């Protein structure tokens, strides 16, 4: 009972009464009344109060309740609101949130509800029984604990849980689901989010993140866990199987199989590669993958090689950020490297840097890296005689259209899907036996080569990036020259990303208002070029202003479904997209522009003009 009371209340008398077993219920009522009075005086909405009371009265542990009481007694209204104003949303791919107390946080109760809901859905989806699930986790705080908790709950529900005994990359979990013939998979990770976050991603039996109808079915089952008494926390040891080195070897063999130019690697085996795992899971697989391909001169950033959920050397463990890549870049300068690569905490995303003609290291954005990968793969597949007319690449609607242009040149299909690699995986699944997947990616630093994994794979991406760098060097050119050659052939495409963070309930409301404003008052032009097409994926309606008509957006196997995304296209080829993030408290604006590049000498001039155009559009829209 004491844990229900704020710390600044005088509980000494009650403690004495309890110790002497002369409990005075009247005194207890007085003290608890003070607690409720303090709670009632706080400026909290009805839902927040209801959730707080539910957690204080429910069978939650004493430590959890003590933290809630402390917030009440200290009048921490913002903390209470953000932690209790809603349940942490279990979306169509899982959930992600800050670690802490409350229904809107990652903790053993919200993870427990997710696991129990998933277990309930699996038993309905596979009534014949014999259900297996694979579980992996990254280096984040509480990831091992959440993974074991999930294994316990699945085992308590009669499901065999295959649990990695140590942290492993997310793409390896995708591979494992398929390799072990599991019905589902879970990886505990918050990808590249800040250190205070963790998350829970769900995979289906093909190794991809869940899509319809299973995604919504799982969400319904998770939402039905409205009390922790429905969660079976007590595990059954005999149903928990630990995964060892055998799966590591099979996964690495699959990564090696994507190589297209092994002879060139042999010639350029001493390519100087700098790699950083940024305190994440990549350290378990990337060095081995590069070694087995034949690269012998890999330099690991030692300060960032130890997995650590506090990410002590970076502010934000994201290879998109220059700050996170700074140690790798410094090492590259020191040894005069050929390539810099770094992976995020769960190793599904990779960042890379190239040296420009002036000798300065430049980070490539996700669109540039994805384009380089596809540029190399298309050329290498053709040279190897592997293009038969039944191959395809895939990308998301917010990723550079340069990939479409290159694919068309090689008469290879390019499928465009909604944002989320699960949709690319859906295209791969529905094309099996009819078309062959070469590779694909999205602008947010996630790429996939081959179809043995069905999610972003930074391990395989690091391998193919090293291979294409070796290919360029074998031709006597730098990676920067290789990039320039691509733009000269297909046009200089440049994409800018404006990411606006809006935390908490008020932030979520602001984001929705921004989207509403763009729908009610869409721009008529961008940078002097009129809007000729508007795609609204929420209504799946395409508007053609110049023709004064609308039409439906057809998706087919592309995973095109209702999504809160708006895209604007101009007459000169500019593309502008608005999209609230599904994993972070952000709204993202993507601007894509293009121009001709006649020679390498004009690279900087054209690049700066495109950057200026993006900035002008940003100012125009008050972003």
pLDDT digits 0-9 by tens, 500-552? 888 888 888 889 999 999 999 999 999 999 999 999 999 989 999 989 899 98
Quick one: 381 and 459 in the same domain?
Answer: yes
Spatial CA neighbour of 364 closest among 487, 267, 530: 487
Gyration radius of the chain over CA positions: 26
Q: Which domain holds residue 522?
A: 492-620
Quick one: 62 and 119 in the same domain?
Answer: no
List Cβ neighbours of 595 (8 Å cut-off, separation of 6 or more).
491, 492, 606, 609, 610
pLDDT surpassing 90 at residue 3: no
Mean pLDDT of the chain: 91
Quick one: 295 and 235 in the same domain?
Answer: no
pLDDT at residue 1, as a whole number: 37
129 phi and psi, to 5 degrees?
Answer: 85, -165
Q: How many domains does the chain have?
A: 4
pLDDT surpassing 80 at residue 582: no
What is the per-residue pLDDT across 176-188, written as a single tens digit (0 to 9) for each? 999 999 999 999 9
pLDDT surpassing 50 at residue 11: no
In Å, how far are 93, 421, 601, 602 from 357, measured between CA atoms? 43, 35, 10, 12
Task: Determine contact, residues 489/496, Cβ cutoff 8 Å.
Answer: no
Give the pLDDT band (50/70/90) at residue 555.
Answer: low
Helix (H) or strand (E) holding 501: strand 492-501
**CATH number for the domain that contains residue 139:** 3.40.120.10
pLDDT surpassing 60 at residue 32: no
Average pLDDT over residues 250-267: 97
Give the integer Cα–Cα distance in Å for 385 and 403: 21
Residue 248 domain flag: no
Active site includes 191?
A: yes
* Burial state string for 64-100 with b = 16 or more CB within 10 A and e = fewer than 16: bbbbbbebbbeebeebbbbbbbbbbebebbbbbbbbb
pLDDT at residue 282, as a whole number: 98
What is the per-residue pLDDT across 558-576, written as a single tens digit (0 to 9) for each? 556 788 999 999 999 999 9
pLDDT surpassing 80 at residue 35: no
pLDDT surpassing 60 at residue 24: no
Helix 458-474 × helix 479-490 angle, to 10°: 90
Residue 322 domain flag: yes
Give the integer Cα–Cα distance in Å for 623 and 614: 11
Which of 19-33, 190-204, 286-300 is predicted least confidently?
19-33
What is the per-residue pLDDT across 384-426, written as a single tens digit (0 to 9) for each? 999 999 999 999 999 999 999 999 999 999 999 988 899 999 9
Strand partners, 197: 98
Quick one: 310 and 432 in the same domain?
Answer: yes
Find the catalytic residue in 115, 143, 155, 191: 191
pLDDT surpassing 90 at residue 604: yes
pLDDT surpassing 50 at residue 6: no
Give the pLDDT band (50/70/90) at residue 556.
Answer: low
Percentage above 90 pLDDT, the chain: 80
Quick one: 310 and 452 in the same domain?
Answer: yes
Written as six digits, the tokens of 73 are 């007694």
Residue 302 domain flag: yes
pLDDT at residue 195, as a whole number: 94
What is the per-residue pLDDT across 59-115, written as a single tens digit (0 to 9) for each? 999 899 889 988 988 898 999 999 999 999 887 678 999 999 999 999 999 999 999
Quick one: 184 and 285 in the same domain?
Answer: no
Quick one: 287 and 345 in the same domain?
Answer: yes
pLDDT surpassing 70 at residue 428: yes
Quick one: 123 and 6 in the same domain?
Answer: no
Measured CA angle at 194 (ends 190, 196), to 5 deg: 80
Average pLDDT over residues 143-167: 98
End-to-end CA distance of the chain: 51
Average pLDDT over residues 239-248: 95
């Amino acid at each position: 009972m004491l844990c229900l009371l704020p710390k600044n209340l005088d509980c000494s008398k009650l403690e004495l009464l309890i110790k002497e077993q002369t409990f005075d219920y009247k005194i207890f009522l007085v003290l608890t009344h003070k607690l409720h009075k303090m709670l009632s005086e706080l400026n909290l909405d009805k839902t927040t109060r209801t959730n707080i009371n539910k957690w204080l009265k429910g069978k939650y542990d004493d430590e959890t309740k003590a933290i809630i009481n402390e917030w009440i007694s200290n009048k921490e209204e913002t903390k209470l609101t953000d932690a209790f104003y809603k349940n942490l949303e279990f979306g169509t791919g899982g959930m992600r949130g800050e670690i802490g107390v409350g229904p809107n946080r990652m903790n053993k109760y919200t993870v427990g509800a997710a696991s129990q809901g998933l277990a309930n859905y699996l038993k309905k989806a596979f009534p014949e029984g014999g259900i297996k699930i694979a579980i992996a986790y990254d280096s984040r705080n509480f990831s091992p604990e959440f993974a074991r908790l999930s294994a316990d709950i699945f085992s308590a529900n009669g499901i065999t849980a295959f649990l990695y005994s140590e942290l492993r990359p997310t793409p390896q979990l995708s591979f494992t689901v398929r390799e072990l013939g599991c019905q589902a998979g879970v990886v505990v990770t918050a990808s590249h989010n800040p250190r205070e976050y963790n998350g829970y991603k769900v995979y289906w039996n093909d190794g991809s993140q869940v899509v319809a109808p299973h995604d919504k079915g799982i969400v319904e089952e998770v939402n039905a866990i409205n009390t922790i008494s429905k969660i079976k926390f007590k595990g059954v040891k005999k149903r928990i199987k630990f995964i060892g080195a055998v799966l590591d070897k099979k996964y690495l063999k699959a990564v090696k199989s994507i190589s297209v130019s092994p002879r060139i690697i042999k010639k350029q085996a001493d390519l100087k590669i700098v790699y950083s795992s940024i305190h994440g899971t990549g350290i378990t697989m990337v060095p081995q993958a590069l070694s087995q391909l034949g690269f012998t001169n890999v330099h690991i950033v030692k300060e960032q090689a130890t997995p650590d959920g506090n990410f002590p050397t970076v502010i934000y463990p994201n290879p998109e950020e220059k700050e996170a890549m700074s140690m790798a870049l410094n090492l590259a300068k020191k040894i005069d490297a050929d390539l810099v690569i770094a992976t995020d905490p769960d190793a599904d995303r990779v960042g890379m840097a190239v040296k420009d003609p002036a000798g300065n290291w430049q980070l490539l954005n996700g669109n540039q890296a994805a384009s380089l990968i596809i540029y190399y793969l298309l050329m290498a597949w053709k040279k190897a005689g592997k293009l038969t007319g039944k191959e395809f690449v895939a990308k998301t609607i917010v990723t550079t259209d340069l990939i479409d242009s290159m694919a068309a040149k090689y008469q290879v299909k390019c499928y465009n899907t909604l944002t989320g690699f699960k949709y690319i995986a859906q295209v791969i699944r529905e094309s099996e036996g009819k078309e062959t997947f070469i590779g694909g990616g999205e602008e947010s630093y996630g790429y996939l080569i081959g179809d043995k994994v069905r999610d972003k794979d930074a391990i395989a991406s690091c391998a193919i990036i090293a291979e294409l760098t070796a290919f360029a060097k074998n031709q006597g050119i730098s990676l920067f020259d290789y990039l320039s050659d691509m733009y000269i052939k297909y046009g200089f495409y440049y994409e800018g990303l404006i990411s606006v963070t809006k935390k908490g309930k008020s932030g979520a409301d602001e984001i929705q208002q921004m989207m509403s404003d763009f729908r009610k008052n869409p721009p008529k032009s961008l940078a002097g070029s009129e809007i000729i097409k508007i795609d609204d994926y929420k209504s799946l309606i395409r508007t053609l202003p110049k023709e004064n008509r609308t039409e439906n957006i057809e998706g087919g196997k592309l995973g095109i479904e209702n999504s809160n995304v708006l895209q604007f296209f101009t007459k000169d080829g500019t593309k502008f997209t608005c999209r609230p993030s599904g994993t972070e408290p952000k709204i993202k604006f993507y601007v894509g522009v293009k121009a001709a590049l006649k020679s390498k000498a004009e690279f900087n001039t054209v690049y700066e003009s495109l950057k200026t155009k993006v900035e002008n559009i940003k100012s125009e829209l008050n972003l």
